[in-house]
Amino acid sequence: MQPAHKELQTPEERFDHYVELLTETLGHADRAEPLRAYTTGLMLPGDRKGVEPMAARIDPRNVRRKHQSMHHFVAAAPWSDERVLARVGEFALPALRTHGPIEAWLLDDTGIPKKGTHSVGVARQYCGQLGKTENCQVAVSLSIATEVASLPIAYQLYLPEAWAEDRERCSKAGVPEEVKFRTKPQIALAQLRAALAAGVPKGVVAADAGYGNGAEFRDELTELGLRYAVGVLSTTRVWAEGRRPLPPPKWSGHGRPPTRLRRAPEHQPVTAKELALENKARFRWVSWREGTKGKLRGCFLALRVRSAHRDYQRREARDEEWLVVEWPQSEPEPTKYFLSTLPKNISLRQLIRKVKLRWRIERDYEELKQELGLTHYEGRGWRGFHHHATLTIAAYAFLVAERGRFSPSGAGSGTPQLKAARVPRGFRPRGSPTPTRAACADLDRLNPHTPHQGAGADATPLSVLSARQYSRTDPQEDL
């Protein structure tokens, strides 16, 4: 079934239609109401998007009942994240393509800081949000992107090897038996294969050096028929244009004929950094897109090279590809390196624009975390972690679709903001970081509320639904 947008006039009508489409994938019609409540709670203004604070905003007169319904739905109900995300993608794809085709598949991972040790997958590992190794969870995602919009279509927790080998610990956290240890690139490749099998329109695969620096990963992308523009380290070894490994030595007539390529002391590949510094004079200034403060420009070098990683174990040299190097004017040497299999005849500006498409994933995560509460889930289990992420992405997809109704320059305008129902006086959800500072709030001269943190100057404001009261109850709403 391919869901189609009906001619619906108001955000409320479009949201009702969206909920109906998603409910079809949940396996139980009575899950429609907690689905509606949860996604609405994620889109409502508020500093915390935990279940209890959202329940208080949705139905302040029945917080306990609403909390129980929403908590069961996200933490325990056995619906499929894959089916819901597939329907989310089908719904949002036409809106994404309103202003242009799918240009890129964006791979990335995001860290979620944690203080305890019981949440599924938590370990001391690099956390991009903090910029250092810290106690956190890490999830791998795949997003599809156009020039002006993007949307995650796959999201999975990375389970560290120590976790995967401790089956008792995994059992307590609800990790399925079939989930074994996989590296982040292995998770990413599985997401790419699933997207190909689902018929998602292809785009250039963009990823940072955490993925792109692996030659095996890049080779697998080529095997899958996907072009890429991925980050690599400056130490990546390549053959300069016109050079390649030596052919196998001549057969001596004894034993098996040699088939592997070879190198010689005077015939060796060079690092990407060495090649860039040898070609200082070939760096050019390029502008690749309009930013909020004018054109974005940088100094770049693009050369045709061959990857040299362990090619002495191969029978054929790898095909030529692009090495792209960025050298900021304020830095003493180049800072970023990329390899790309984009066509040989592509213009330098288009090549840089494609390489730089990965910036959209940063926008996604900024809005998903700061506006919609992707990192606010307080449960510890595998199912709840993924259900919350899926519902956050579902809410984001609806907002992306609403944005698609406007021109890129006006995206996000024209729709009023969601307003929460009035919360009972003195109510404070568990875990609130802003407790009332006086026994009587009227006597407190300090503002106990944390200022709302926006998505940054470059982010387009999120457009959401109009005000709506969720006061009805359903005897089966906890299903």
How do residues 312-331 score in pLDDT, each as one tens digit? Answer: 889 898 999 999 999 999 99
Give the pLDDT of residue 188.
98
Q: Dihedral (C-alpha) 397, 400, 404, 407: value to the nearest 10 degrees?
A: -170
Tell me: pLDDT of 294 over 70. Answer: yes
pLDDT in tens, 239-285: 999 899 989 888 887 888 888 888 989 999 999 999 999 999 999 99
What pLDDT is attached to residue 448?
A: 46
| Rounded Cα distance, 316 and 55, in Å | 61
Max avg pLDDT among 47-51, 157-161, 444-448: 157-161
Q: Which residue has the higher pLDDT, 139 or 8?
A: 139
Q: Of 4-18, 204-218, 288-302, where does mean pLDDT reach its minimum? A: 4-18
Q: Identify the pLDDT of residue 443.
A: 39
Half-sphere exposure of 429 (CA within 13 A, CB side): 21
| pLDDT score for 424 | 56
**Cα–Cα distance, 396 to 144 (Å, whole number):** 13
Model pLDDT, residue 313: 87
pTM here is 0.83
Residue 137 has pLDDT above 90, yes or no: yes
Q: Could you give the percent of the chain with pLDDT greater than 70?
A: 83
Q: For 334-377, what is each residue's pLDDT tens digit?
A: 999 999 999 999 999 999 999 999 888 888 888 999 999 999 99
pLDDT classification of 440: cutoffs 50, 70, 90: very low
3-state SS of the chain is CCCCCCCCCCHHHHHHHHHHHHHCCCCCHHHHHHHHHHHHHHHCCCCCCCHHHHHHHHCHHHHHHHHHHHHHHHHCCCCCHHHHHHHHHHHHHHHHHHHCCCCEEEEEEEEEECCCCCCCCCEEEEECCCCEEEEEEEEEEEEEECCCCEEEEEEEECCCHHHHHCHHHHHHCCCCCCCCCCCHHHHHHHHHHHHHHCCCCCCEEEECHHHHCCHHHHHHHHHCCCCEEEEECCCCEEECCCCCCECCCCCCCCCCCCCCCECECCECCEEHHHHHHHCHHHCEEEEEEEECCEEEEEEEEEEEEEECCCHHHCCCCCCCEEEEEECCCCCCCCCEEEEECCCCCCCHHHHHHHHHHHHHHHHHHHHHHHCCCCCCCCCCCHHHHHHHHHHHHHHHHHHHHHHCCCCHHHCCCCCCCCCCCCCCCCCCCCCCCCCCCCCCHHHCCCCCCCCCCCCCCCCCCCCCCCCCCCCCCCCCCCC
pLDDT reported for residue 382: 97
Report the residue count for the chain.
Answer: 479
pLDDT above 60 (res 74): yes
Nearest to 385 by CA among 123, 122, 31: 122
Q: What is the pLDDT of residues 170-229, one digit of tens each?
A: 999 999 999 999 999 999 999 999 999 999 999 999 999 999 999 999 999 999 999 999
Whether the CA torsion 53, 59, 62, 64 is positive or negative: it is negative
The arithmetic mean of pLDDT across residues 428-438, rounded, is 51
Taking residues 139-153, what's their average pLDDT?
93
pLDDT at 429: 56
Residue 387 pLDDT more than 80? yes
The pLDDT, as a whole number, for residue 257 is 87
- Residue 111 banded pLDDT, cuts 50, 70, 90: very high
Answer whether residue 469 shows pLDDT above 70.
no
> By the 8 A CB rule, do 127 and 111 touch?
yes
Which position has the higher pLDDT, 155 or 469?
155
What are the tokens at 295?
Answer: 């054109």
Task: Round to whole Å and give the CA distance between 53 and 468.
Answer: 17
Residue 116 has pLDDT above 50, yes or no: yes
Q: Is pLDDT of 412 > 70?
A: no
- For residues 413-439, give the mean pLDDT: 50
Q: Looking at the predicted structure, is the pLDDT value of residue 430 above 70? A: no
Mean pLDDT confidence for 389-417 = 73
Q: Compute the mean pLDDT over every residue in the chain, rounded to the nearest whole number.
A: 85
